[in-house]
Amino acid sequence: MPNHPPLGFTFSGVAAGIKKTGAADLALIVSDRPCAAAAVFTQNAFPAAPVLYDRALVAGNPAGLRAVAVNAGCANACTGDAGLADAAEMAALTERALGLPPRSAAVMSTGVIGPRLPMAKIADGVQTAAGALSAEGWDAASRAIMTTDTRPKVAFREVGAGLASARIFGMCKGAGMIHPNMATMLAVIVTDAAVEPAALQVMLRQAVDVSFNAISIDGDTSTNDTVLLLANGASGTVVTSPASISSQSTNLPIYLETSAFASALTSLCIDLAQQIVRDGEGATKFITVRVEGAASDTDAKQAAKAIANSPLVKTAFYGGDANWGRILAAVGYSGAAVEPGKADLWIAAGGKGEGRGEVTSPLQLVRAGQPLPYLEEAASAIFAEPEIVVRVQLGLGAGAATVWTCDLSHDYVSINGHYRT
């Protein structure tokens, strides 16, 4: 996939002195024209100040956003009214530095919960970042938003062909405190397609549900989770329904079907979400959990998340111990409807593809609730693989869901035991 960012966007990432290490910690993403905006935010009952600010901003100005400022090193969460004022000031600093109208810049923050933002450093950093903007600055921007991430996370998609085409770019951060009740991390996605805000919001929610809402590392939902999508229309390609396309004249603008754009957006979000799991704090394994035959999709997702979040399951994978009873135990307490006599269980080494559960030589461990004879060495060999697929068939209906997770290692405890030091 060519690494061509969407037209009309520039990016930068600089060191503002927020992180103790002196690493890059402030990023700007800027459009040369107003953007339609869509966003999905954390459901944590202690939302961070930037979440509160951006919720109101997107609701009040869904067709006029021009920029996003993101800082790492301080979450500006649980900071009360003063933190909300700091978030508003960070947005205003960005607007003034870029010569933008008021209420056109969104803000995001990530890092330690509790401390106030160092506003003098934010102010200087925004000015420096404004002077460093370029179309190729996406790599620097993606690095500047990292916390415990070991590498940047970016993805590109091109959709359509010829004149009727558009580009999508996304970057995100996240390695710990990952358990979505929306999308547990920060992500900025930009496109040069023209999309109405209402349609953009629908497509983003659908994409988030099968991507960022289908991952878990440690079961902790962050206070700062935000996925923001901006569409500036710089390509001249308008995303709309087939009926609208057929009724239009052959004159410009050029039209692209909603389904094609939505598919590309979903693919990009899945890509980013899986990058988060693969870079999970202390992770050594990437695990796909697929639950089928549930009474509903909701039940399937409940069961899959229970497996993905179980410390006992995750540590078994880390140790290469084929203790598969922990998997069924997690399904049993998940709240999903279960009839033990109808349940089947398979494990397999992960295959290629977009992490949707492609496997090689699956090993069935349970059929109709009864354990099957198998070689312990074969099961242990699968549990020792770097990519593993777990498949549970509940035999109750057509509900299905896929969740991606990682193992739980000693390094996870070490990283989080000394996070502030």
Secondary structure (DSSP) of 98-140: HTPPTT-EEEEEEEESSSPP-HHHHHHHHHHHHTT-BTTTHHH
Place of tokens 């969407």: 6
Question: Is the Cβ–Cβ distance between 276 and 217 less than 8 Å?
Answer: yes
pLDDT exceeds 90 at position 369: yes
Residue 355 pLDDT level (bands cut at 50, 70, 90): very low
Residue 402 and residue 273 share a domain: no
How far, in Å, CA of 19 to CA of 74, rounded? 8
SS3 84: helix
Least confident range from 9-18, 94-103, 208-217, 345-354: namely: 345-354
Q: Judge if 297 and 408 occupy the same domain.
A: yes
CB 3 within 8 A of CB 142: no
Is 80 exceeded by the pLDDT of residue 415?
Answer: no
Q: What amino acid occupies position 61?
A: N
Strand partners, 215: 404
Q: How many domains does the chain have?
A: 2
In this prediction, residue 360 carries a pLDDT of 64
Q: Does position 39 have pLDDT exceeding 80, yes or no?
A: yes
Task: Please state the pTM of the whole predicted model.
Answer: 0.88
Spatial distance between the Cα atoms of 24 and 144, rounded to a whole number of angstroms: 5
Identified catalytic residue from 10, 184, 223, 402: 184
What's the chain's average pLDDT?
A: 89
Distance CA 113, CA 75 (A): 5
Residue ranges making up the domain that contains 16: 9-278
Q: Which helix (H) or strand (E) is 167 found in, with range? A: strand 164-173
Are 60 and 50 in contact by the 8 Å Cβ rule? The answer is no
- Position 3 in a domain: no
Instruction: Give yes or no: 184 in active site.
Output: yes
Domain membership of residue 2 (yes or no) is: no
Q: Categorize the per-residue pLDDT at 241 as very low, low, confident or very high, splitting at 50, 70 and 90.
A: confident
Residue 358, domain member (yes or no) = yes
Question: Region 56-76: what's the mean pLDDT?
Answer: 97
Quick one: 260 and 295 in the same domain? no
Q: Which residue has the higher pLDDT, 238 or 247?
A: 238
How far apart are the two ends of the chain, measured CA to CA in Å? 39
Shared domain check, 303 and 261: no
Lowest mean pLDDT among 52-56, 123-127, 198-202, 417-421: 417-421
Q: Does the CA dihedral 389-395-400-405 come out positive or negative?
A: negative
Whether residue 273 sits in one domain with residue 237: yes
The stretch 213-241 carries a mean pLDDT of: 85
Residue that is last in its domain, among 212, 246, 278: 278
In 99-137, which positions are buried (b, 16+ CB within 10 angstroms) versus exposed (e)? ebeebbbbbbbbbebebebbeebbbbbbbbbbebbeeeb
Q: What percent of the chain has pLDDT above 90?
A: 71
Q: For 166-180, what is each residue's pLDDT tens digit?
A: 999 999 997 554 455
Model confidence pLDDT, tens digit, residues 264-308? 999 999 999 999 888 876 678 899 999 999 999 999 999 999 999
Q: 316 and 284 in contact (C-beta within 8 Å)? A: no
Cα angle, residue 287 at apex, residues 286 and 293 outer, rounded to 5°: 160
Best CA proximity match to 79, nearest among 109, 42, 37: 109
